[in-house]
Amino acid sequence: MTEAEAAAELPPAPEEARAVFGEFFPEAVRYAELLADAGVKRGLIGPREVPRLWERHLLNCAVLSEVVPEGVTVCDVGSGAGLPGIPLALVRPDLKITLLEPLLRRTNFLQEVVELLGLDHVTVVRGRAEEMMGKVAPVHVVTARAVAPLDRLAGWGVPLLRPYGEMLALKGDTAEEEILGARAALSKLGVVETSVLHVGEGVVDPLSTVVRVEVGESPGGVRFAAKRAKAARTSRTRRRR
């Protein structure tokens, strides 16, 4: 399959997409076209994913909005081609979203998409999540999709949260198993509750599976307490200058 053939196989948007994206449906279509064309050419998605872009990727990510609180700050860790961050941004203009991605070719693509779609409430930041404490403001919600196993993902994402924030990770059928395997690591990171949610009723089949990881007053736990305090002091010093 050539790149041109992959782009040509992008199917029409399903009716569910019109309902989910609402007034931003044209922007969602443009994003799908960008993924099917530039996304494939730059190696951000595989050609075989193009025929199922809507159901498996855009809608699967957009329904995450069902469990994101209103008007909060969000950091999409390991954003890649913008999933789930960009579909979430299209559905929820009330959110302030940071797309965090370490690879330059991906951040270049993300910046182009943000500008083309006019997503003024979205910021692209290049960097690794584990190096961002003190460099980006703590957020209410961290999102992620297909980035890493839950224990490792939590080690990167949880320290970026504000106290009593939450991480929402799109996962597959092994969500419950991942939670069991990560329980000790999550506890050390200050996690106080975990749960598995299913979202997208009437939109996607099967439903999207979301692991919700909620933290207490010390995101990252004892391991990150000193680092968090140092980052806060550095931030105050910069503001005084």
What single DSSP character describes residue 108?
A: H
Distance CA 53, CA 60 (A): 9
pLDDT in tens, the chain (241 residues): 454 444 458 999 999 999 999 999 999 999 999 999 999 999 999 999 999 999 999 999 999 999 999 999 999 999 999 999 999 999 999 999 999 999 999 999 999 999 999 999 999 999 999 999 888 999 999 999 988 899 999 999 999 999 999 999 999 988 999 999 999 999 999 999 999 999 999 999 999 999 999 999 989 876 666 666 565 555 555 556 6
Three-class DSSP category at 192: strand
β partners of residue 97: 74, 122
Could you tell me if 144 and 76 are in contact, meaning their C-beta atoms sit under 8 angstroms apart? Answer: yes
- Residue 153's alpha-carbon distances to 69, 70, 116, 189, 213, in angstroms, are 21, 24, 30, 11, 11
Give the span between the Cα atoms of 224 and 92, in whole angstroms. Answer: 31
Residue 135: per-residue pLDDT: 87
Q: What is the pLDDT of residue 88?
A: 98
Q: Looking at residue 146, what is its pLDDT?
A: 80
- The pTM of the full predicted model, rounded to 2 decimals, is 0.90
Which residues lie below 8 Å from residue 173, measured CB to CB, with a gap of 6+? 209
